């Protein structure tokens, strides 16, 4: 038996734990709880927790959590929605570079509604919609108590599934388009993984800027329908990987310019296709490795094409010093959603059906939209 603290649960969960019939039981610290009754308490909560790293469908479970005391600068947020991102799964597996200590609550981004505020909170009112910005661990729970500085107030007219998912994927797309190459209207980009949320966001943000997009998707049943969906978002060209098994892929471009910038989230051959499209002096940015295969570059690509390879990791880019900058960009992206200029495929799933949503996110049920838990 030892003393543990679950991240994001506050002092009322700083407790001793023991095993009862193979199940870990968390006991509230009675001293803390008695003191808390003299001030504002959050409602009891439910959360998806994991006490060790491993396969998410084996190590996660939903538990009940006790009320938490609000300090003077705290706000209590009733979560409305939170997505299951690949990085969330990697954290639970223990393979993500930055992860909370276990036991921990899952989730990294989401949207909620202000339920209660501490006595010194001035900038929030009951009913305000907020997101953690920069994101923080522990969004897969029904109520969260954290200091007001963590939260960013957003427009309540935004569909909650978009508010819940605006940070990790759309912000990645926006930063990659702006941080590596100076793109002008009429220029082009190329990307693999075009059906991913980041891929869909890149297509639309490029279109808004007058930038052409060349997109690569994996071969699959229904690939023609997928191509049409991406073209409706603004894609100029969409190719399956098998279509690019030709000697000169640039012959497929037609009137489109050779792209100056490429994005890779797959690795292996799909990364090589991106490199083949790039113009002299072009840059490929890698932000994922879904195929779990290395990026292989020919010597001639470096010598004769002078290509540059870069990497992007949003969590490294974001910091407390950039919180204001992040929030301005988030408001811009949510404004595009409200104006009908920005969308991507999502599926809202009730929180109590977490196991179903997790199976879909793990790919057990085939290709599925991003899963968003609805509380």
Cβ burial, residue 240 (10 Å; 0-12/13-18/19+): middle
Q: Pick the catalytic residue: 50, 96, 287, 332? A: 96
Q: Which residues of 37-71 are buried (b: 16+ CB within 10 A; e: fewer)?
A: eeebbbeebbbbbbbebeebeebbeebebbbbbbb
Q: What are phi and psi of 112, to 5 degrees?
A: -145, 180
Judge whether 96 counts as a catalytic residue. yes
251: phi then psi, degrees, rounded to nearest 5: -65, -15
Largest CA distance in the chain: 75
Instruction: Tell me the C-alpha distance between 103 and 75, whole Å.
Output: 23
- CA 348 from chain centre, in angstroms, equals 15
| Sheet containing 23-26: order of strands | 2-4, 15-20, 23-26
Q: How many residues does the chain have?
A: 375
Cα distance between residue 356 and residue 112, in whole Å: 22
The Cβ-side half-sphere exposure at 331, using a 13 Å CA radius, reads 11
* Residues with a known catalytic role: 96
């Amino acid at each position: 038996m030892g003393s543990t603290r679950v991240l994001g649960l506050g002092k009322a969960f700083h407790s001793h734990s023991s095993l009862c019939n193979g199940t870990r039981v968390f006991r509230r610290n009675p001293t803390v709880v008695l003191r808390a009754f003299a001030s504002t308490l959050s409602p009891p909560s439910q959360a998806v927790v994991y006490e060790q790293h491993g396969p998410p469908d084996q190590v996660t479970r939903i538990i009940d959590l006790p009320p938490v005391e609000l300090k003077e600068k705290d706000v209590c947020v009733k979560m409305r929605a939170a997505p299951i991102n690949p990085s969330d799964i990697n954290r639970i597996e223990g393979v993500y570079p930055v992860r909370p200590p276990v036991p921990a609550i899952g989730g990294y981004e989401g949207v909620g509604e202000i339920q209660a505020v501490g006595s010194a909170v001035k900038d929030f009112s009951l009913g305000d919609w907020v997101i953690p910005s920069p994101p923080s661990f522990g969004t897969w729970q029904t109520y969260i108590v954290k200091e007001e500085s963590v939260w960013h107030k957003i427009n309540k007219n935004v569909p909650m599934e978009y508010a819940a998912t605006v940070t990790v994927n759309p912000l990645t797309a926006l930063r990659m388009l702006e941080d590596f190459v100076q793109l002008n209207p009429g220029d082009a980009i190329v990307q693999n993984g075009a059906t991913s949320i980041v891929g869909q966001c890149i297509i639309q943000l490029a279109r808004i800027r007058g930038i052409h997009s060349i997109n690569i998707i994996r071969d699959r049943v229904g690939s023609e329908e997928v191509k049409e969906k991406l073209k409706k978002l603004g894609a100029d060209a969409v190719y399956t990987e098998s279509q690019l098994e030709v000697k000169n892929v640039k012959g497929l471009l037609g009137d489109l310019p050779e792209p100056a910038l490429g994005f890779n989230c797959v690795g292996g051959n799909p990364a090589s296709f991106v490199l083949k499209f790039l113009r002299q002096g072009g840059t490929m940015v890698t932000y994922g490795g879904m195929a779990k295969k290395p990026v292989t570059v020919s010597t001639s690509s470096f010598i004769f094409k002078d290509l540059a390879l870069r990497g992007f990791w949003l969590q490294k880019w974001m910091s407390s010093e950039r919180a204001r900058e992040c929030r301005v960009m988030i408001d811009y992206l949510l404004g595009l959603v409200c104006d009908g200029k920005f969308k991507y495929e999502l599926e809202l799933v009730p929180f109590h059906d977490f196991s179903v949503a997790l199976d879909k996110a793990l790919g057990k049920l085939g290709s599925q939209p991003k899963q968003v838990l609805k509380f």
